[in-house]
């Protein structure tokens, strides 16, 4: 094991920051350049306090311990991931789903006898997969036989617990139209609850969650998906990791399936077998009539 430097709770010395960055990049794909050091220190200080440790040196002993590392990687990941998300974030994607993507998929036979499968691959606290659930439910009002399911995955155990709970504050639900709030949210009886709105059970039943690290070699998912949302996570990855992740996501699409990435994550410069259908929305291959996957 490399020599452990002496430091205090207040700062991480450069050599230790480099070791930490290498570990986080290897396990989560997330790049931690020097400019992120103040953020990392602030977040890890909270972890040190939870553990009752007085210095980063003590923390490195735990984090780089051959036996204890696996367990500590979970709270480390929870501490270092950026989980910002919103209902209806980047709304152009949802308009495209409604106007173009869902009609095309349904016309090809998807969502008729088997559910149309949608995957939100960096689901954070659930706003994105539940928005997808709402958009698909709304679209299904006009096509009575339409059926769908949404899978939300993330690397962070903490955000997944919140997503499964499906409770949100008044501020969090603000982007949702009033009619959707009435249709898809229940209000807690105790008005003073910090997150007084809960996703209605019918929608929660269609949106499932699981842990998945986009760095895994094989995503080992039981199905291929007609629509994959992987938004606002690849900005934290380096170019090679981005290309690897996009390739693995594409392998999990049905022919003619759609991949959506964040608006600041254009795939234009990657050499990929994907056709651009709108800014940051791509299609892989072509749909076949009578498709059922």
Which residues are at the interface with ligand SAM (CB under 6 A)?
28-30, 81-85, 89, 122, 124, 128, 154-156, 159, 213-215, 231-233, 262
**Other C-beta atoms lying within 10 Å of the C-beta of residue 225:** 24
Least distance from ligand SAM to the Cβ atom of residue 150, Å: 13
Residue closer to ligand SAM, measured from CB, 21 or 232: 232
Residue closer to ligand SAM, measured from CB, 32 or 159: 159
Least distance from ligand SAM to the Cβ atom of residue 276, Å: 19
Report the C-alpha gap between 195 and 109 in whole angstroms: 39
Catalytic residue among 19, 27, 37, 43: 43
By DSSP bridging, strand 167-168 and strand 197-199 are antiparallel
Residue closer to ligand SAM, measured from CB, 257 or 287: 257
Any idea what the Cα angle at residue 101 is, between residues 99 and 105, rounded to 5°?
A: 125
Positive or negative, the Cα torsion across 106, 109, 113, 119? Answer: negative
Whether 154 is a known active-site residue: answer yes
Whether 43 is a known active-site residue: answer yes
Residue closer to ligand SAM, measured from CB, 196 or 262: 262
Tokens 């807690």, residue?
188
> Terminal CA-to-CA distance of the chain, rounded, Å?
49
Catalytic residue among 78, 89, 117, 154: 154
Instruction: Give the DSSP letter of residue 167.
Output: E
Least distance from ligand SAM to the Cβ atom of residue 140, Å: 23
| Overall residue count recorded for the chain in this entry | 293
Least distance from ligand SAM to the Cβ atom of residue 132, Å: 11
Residues with a known catalytic role: 43, 154
């Amino acid at each position: 094991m490399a020599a452990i430097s002496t430091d205090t709770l207040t700062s991480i010395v450069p050599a230790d920051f480099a070791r930490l960055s290498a570990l986080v990049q290897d396990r989560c794909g997330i790049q931690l350049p020097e400019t992120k050091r103040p953020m990392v220190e602030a977040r890890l200080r909270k972890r040190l306090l939870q553990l009752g440790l007085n210095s980063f040196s003590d923390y490195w002993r735990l984090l780089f311990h051959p036996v204890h590392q696996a367990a500590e990687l979970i709270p480390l990941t929870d501490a270092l991931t950026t989980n910002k998300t919103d209902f209806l974030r980047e709304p152009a994607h949802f308009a495209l789903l409604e106007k173009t993507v869902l009609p095309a998929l349904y016309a090809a036979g998807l969502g008729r006898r088997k559910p149309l499968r949608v995957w939100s691959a960096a689901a954070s606290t659930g706003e994105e997969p539940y928005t997808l659930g709402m958009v698909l439910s709304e679209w299904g009002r006009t096509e009575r036989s339409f059926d769908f399911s949404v899978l939300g995955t993330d690397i962070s155990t903490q955000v997944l617990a919140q997503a499964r709970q499906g409770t949100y504050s008044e501020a969090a639900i603000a982007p949702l139209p009033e009619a959707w709030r009435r249709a898809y949210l229940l209000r807690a009886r105790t008005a003073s609850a910090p997150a007084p709105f809960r996703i209605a059970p019918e929608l929660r039943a269609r949106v499932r969650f699981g842990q998945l690290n986009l760095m895994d070699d094989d995503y080992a998912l039981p199905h291929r998906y007609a629509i994959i949302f992987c938004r606002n996570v690849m900005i934290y990855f380096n170019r090679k990791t981005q290309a690897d992740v996009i390739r693995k996501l594409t392998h999990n699409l049905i022919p003619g399936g759609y991949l959506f990435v964040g608006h600041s994550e254009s795939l234009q410069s990657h050499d990929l077998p994907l056709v651009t259908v709108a800014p940051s929305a791509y299609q892989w291959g072509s749909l076949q009539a009578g498709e059922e996957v």
